Homo-oligomer: A and B are copies of this chain.
Amino acid sequence: MIATVIKNPKPKLETRARLIEATARLFSLHGYNGLTLRSVAKEAKANLAAANYHFGSKDALVLEMLRERIQPINQRRLELLEEEKNNNSNLPLGVFQIFRTLIHPIGEEISKSANSRCSLAQLVARTFTEPTEFIERMHHRFFSQIAEIYHRELSLTFPNQPAKEIYWHLHLAVASMLGALAQHRRLEDFTKGMCNENQVDEMINRLTKFVSHGFTHGLRNSSPS
């Protein structure tokens, strides 16, 4: 019994983690089809068979990687939303406040990952263009929950707007957010160097403002709180 406890003093979980990290990097660079187990093994300095041992298949590896990256962001969103609601007690939240809780968590993660060699922005962007069925299913599961929560919150802020109108513009807001994240690496090029792509905070702030105004003024009869 004691032996069982002492066993694995150094659990050597590293390989698994390295595989996940390499998968994230290569997936965001080359997409699902461009990612090969060989490239993952090489990048992670692991053996070719390691990925199949730890995850069973290429599909399972990519899914696990996505799950590990996306879930903390969604949790943080809900946390921030709760915080804002507690601070404002019974008042409906402002549009800007709401979208800040949606956009900032992913901005924070992108800032964190800015120094690493894998851009979270590009990873998220890619998962939303990849039509591989299991990725679609995963996003549906991840996102339909949180979309309902934000729809409800925005309905409180714009009580005179029909659900459909809120849906339309929430859809546009989310699409804009994803587009901005996906295009972020092009910013410096696009602006001929005038805007720096390293200032993630500035991008997030501008994006939040952009989206809030697009949402509010796009509505038929805007009645912001």
Residues of chain A touching chain B, judged by Cβ–Cβ distance below 8 Å, are: 29-34, 122, 125-126, 128-131, 140, 143-144, 147, 163-164, 167-169, 171-172, 174-180, 182-184, 186-187, 189-192, 194-195, 206-207, 209-211, 213-218
Contact = CB atoms under 8 A, between A and B. Distances in A.
Contact of A175 (B32, B131, B172, B183): B183
B30 A172 contact: no
A80 to B, nearest CB: 22
Give the dominant DSSP class at A's interface: helix
Taking the full assembly, how many copies of this chain does it contain?
Answer: 2
Contact of A191 (B31, B171, B182, B207): B171
Contact of A182 (B30, B167, B178): B178
Contacts of A215: 210
A169 B178 CA distance: 15
A125 B168 CA distance: 19
Contacts of A129: 31, 122, 125-126, 129, 182
A65 to B, nearest CB: 17
A215 B206 CA distance: 10
